[in-house]
Amino acid sequence: MTVAFISHPDCEKHEISPNHPERPQRLAAIMDRMIASGIDGRLQHQQAPRATRDQLLRVHDSSYVDLIYANIPEQGCVWLDGDTAMNPHTVDAALRAAGAVVHGVDLVMARDVNAAFCSIRPPGHHAERNRAMGFCIFDNIAVGAAHALSEHGLERIAIVDFDVHHGNGTEDIFRNEPRVLFCSSFQHPFYPGTGADTVSDHIINIPLPAGTGSEEYRAAVEAHWLQPLDDFRPELILFSAGFDAHAEDPLAQLELVEADYAWITAQVKRVADRHADGRIVSTLEGGYNLSALGRSVVAHIEALIGNE
């Protein structure tokens, strides 16, 4: 299976402070582990384009996009909320991050590749239609999904979000869009405190208590996601791939390991193979222990490649 690896050097220029967990070294850790594992040479490397304003406006209010541009600092940082800030390079990085998912969608829809992994930052799934939060500026996965609906005429897209935090921004954007099946697993109660009480026929949230490990996680996915995903018959599947539910991650208290990311990827890949001609685009969200992040991404990509 041909998998594209989409990234851009601009994504490493977004830096808030040396102590901020969402730091440029995350992308270097992924690349280092890919090279060490030998998987790097099996991927088709692509550079992320910038998302256009029109692409952003499919999921964000124009006033919000204007606000982001108006707050670009000449030096230093501007804080948008308690943990989300911009330096002079952040908007370029955020445009590349959203543009990577758009590019990934175009690649898989053209059958240039079977799947794509977007190694980008800042992450996106907390960014709501008119609000930055949780390290996120633009909702990258939502921009890609909206592009697939608008430009490729798809009628059924599934988004699978296994970040340790609820994908509140993606849920906010697609709350009234039944063409998008949104599945999010997350620690609860935990930041941002949303998702546990959602009632919707196209949003399937799995709130998990602190301490949840592999066995409980897999059982919850089997019980709540796999059959609805199959029944939905998605024409494209997108992963919001956050690796901060790993047992070694410092920001949360779930107990997953690399094998769990390989497992969930393989389960969802089977659905994609049945209904979407294998088309998958995955984009990086969280994951803040550098070693665990690199190992987990390699496990995820290995599962995307599958048996060759």
List residues with catalytic annotation.
Answer: 126
The rounded distance, in Å, linking the Cα atoms of 156 and 148 is: 10
Q: Which helix (H) or strand (E) holds 79?
A: strand 78-79
- Tell me, what DSSP letter sits at residue 139? -
Q: Which two tokens stand for residue 269?
A: 């890949």
Return the bridge partners of 282, or none.
117, 239
What is the DSSP annotation of 210-275? Answer: TT-BHHHHHHHHHHHTHHHHHHH--SEEEEEE--TTBTT-TT---BB-HHHHHHHHHHHHHHHHHH
The rounded distance, in Å, linking the Cα atoms of 210 and 187 is: 6
Q: Please state, as a whole number, how many other Cβ atoms lie within 10 Å of the Cβ of residue 248.
A: 18
